[in-house]
Amino acid sequence: MTFYCFENARTSEQLAEMRRLDAAGICLFCPEVLAQHARQQILFQTRHWTATPNEFPYPGTRLHLLLVPDQHAADLLDLTEEVRQDFWLALAAVSEKHQLSHYGLGVRNGDCRFTGATIAHVHAHVLVGDTQAADAPPVRMRFSSHPGSRDRSSPYQPRSA
């Protein structure tokens, strides 16, 4: 089983890293891996969430952080109630730490082949556009995609009824 949707990679460097992790059977966002991954700086942690800069930030951002739950799930609704409640504390901590007056929040839920996500471990993107640079592009986040022909396997396991 793969944890990654390769067809959604935005750069060749990102794709190479996804393939390397996949070959090792590693979900980058599971806590025991995230804490050891040399390229992922841990900014802070709450009881159930970790804040880290996005290793591959979106063009046009001056700040692109990820809030990653310790619990492995592909959908926010699959997280326990306690983990979901702790999300708001993590978001408030990010806002306070970075003194955010504005930001975008994006979360993709479900099968990453259809959401545009690169990894089947739910996480929230905290996005702040670069409002200082006149030539900075607007921040874009893809929320849907068509499954690519390169990889039709799905790491998503739907909630049981």
The domain segmentation of the chain, as residue ranges, is: 6-129
Cα separation, 115 vs 128, whole angstroms: 21
- Read off the tokens for 86: 């702790």
Q: What is the C-alpha to C-alpha distance for residues 62 and 44, in angstroms, rounded to an integer?
A: 19
Residue 39 tokens read as 């390229």
Positions of E strands within the chain: 44-45, 49-53, 61-69, 104-107, 124-129
pLDDT value of residue 61? 97
pLDDT at 158: 43
Per DSSP, the three-state class of 99 is: coil
Distance CA 6, CA 8 (A): 5
pTM for this prediction: 0.87
Whole-angstrom distance, CA of residue 11 vs CA of residue 35: 23
Rounded Cα gap, residues 126 and 63, in angstroms: 8
Q: What is the pLDDT of residue 14?
A: 95
Alpha carbon distance 145, 104 (integer Å): 20
* pLDDT, mean of each 10-residue run, the chain (161 residues): 92 95 95 84 95 95 98 97 98 98 96 94 98 92 70 44 39
For residue 137, which amino acid is it?
Answer: P
- What integer pLDDT is reported at residue 105 of this predicted model? 98
Could you tell me the fold of the domain covering 6-129?
HIT family, subunit A (3.30.428)
- For the chain, how many residues are written? 161
Q: With contact defined as beta carbons under 8 Å apart, do 161 and 118 qualify?
A: no
